[in-house]
Amino acid sequence: MKFIHIADMHFDSPFIKLSDKDILGDLRRLEQRKAFKKVIEYIKQNNIEYLFISGDLYEQKYVKLSTIQYINNLFQEIPNTKIYITPGNHDPNIKNSYYQKFNWSKNVKKFSSKFEKVENDEVDIYGYGFDDFYCTNCGIENLQIENQDKINILVLHATLDGASIEEKQYNSIATKILQEKQFDYIALGHIHKKDYQTNIVYPGSTVSLGFDELGEHGMIVGDLQKGSLKTEFIPLDNEQFKEIELDITKVLSKEELIEEINNLEIQKNEYVKIILTGNRNFEINKYELLKYMENERIIKIKDNTKIAYDLSKIANENTLKGLFAIQMLEKLNQLKSDELQEKEIIEKAIEIGLEALE
């Protein structure tokens, strides 16, 4: 049997933290549609029998009816493909969700919050879906395969081996338990990084949702027979997110910094975040810097630099700068180790104050 496995599309994600450029959110939502259409076109061209969507197909809090209609229209273009959706923590099968109030294509099966089995001639599909934004126990320990002679597949939105309190809220399951169930393929969702070295598979997010999801994103294509599994990862996202570190220790002015950034080599399919490092010799306003970027692919600047001044040395001067440095050193020494935001504020005040006293 041939199948495609995707997860974590997050249709209509607001992309609030992605960039300071408002248009990027709109671009990424269009790119989500393009990627999803590629999935459907691949299914048509290769006669794929099954499509597994392992949760977070859309954002319950933001999704528009028009987006649901767009998805469903594409499903109707592949009537011979059986589609199995397990709702996740971002698109739970709650009362007012489109999983319940929308009339989906006949080839779509949506799993509920009780394990279900769907029988086909050669394969049994088991699945479980979130019915809330959190799930602490899906009851996986009670699930048993009913016919070991058939191909058995499990479709699930889950966190493997979740250790933290947060991870345990999103259906944390021990890898060992899944292995003991002896499914031929386990189609997982929730983790946005691909992992397909075994038959317990995360395809990763179908398109990247930001700079915490670097690298390629796409779908898993599988060919499964009893006792034989072949998988291939196929990229779908035309754009990639990239981080570039720039040490500015030897940069002496804002103008020089702008020139250095604008001279960087950036590919046309990259969204880039510049991370400034080293010691800064002047005040940096990352929002103002963005206005001077000639390459529109630079969408974010992060300032990880440290103040270049030697306060201890300046504090020994018999000047206003010396008195100012003494007061600032006292404030820094009074801070606790976890007061990082307060430290940044004081360092910025030191920078501005010393420049004013030049």
pLDDT (tens digit per residue) in 242-271: 999 999 999 999 999 999 999 999 999 999
pLDDT digits (tens, 9 = 90+) for 5-20: 999 999 999 887 776 6
Going by C-alpha positions, the residue among 67, 71, 70, 54 that lies closest to residue 6 is 54
Amino acid 20: pLDDT: 63
Rounded CA separation 288/50 (Å): 50
**Separation between Cα atoms, residue 344 and residue 324, nearest integer Å:** 17
Q: Give helix 23-46 / helix 65-76 axis angle, nearest 10°.
A: 20
For the chain, the structural domain boundaries read 2-235, 240-356
**Residues 280, 77: Cα–Cα separation, whole Å:** 56
Contacts of 17 (CB under 8 A, 6+ apart): 210
pTM, two decimals, is 0.85
pLDDT for the residue 22: 66
**Tokens describing residue 289:** 């810097």
Rounded Cα–Cα distance for residues 43 and 28 (Å): 23
Q: For the chain, which residues score pLDDT lower than 50? A: none
Domain 2-235: CATH architecture, name and number where available: 4-Layer Sandwich (3.60)
Contact of 199 with 185, CB cutoff 8 Å: yes
Greatest Cα pair distance in the chain: 89
CA 259 to the chain's CA centroid: 32
Q: Give the separation between CA 160 and CA 190, rounded to whole angstroms.
A: 10
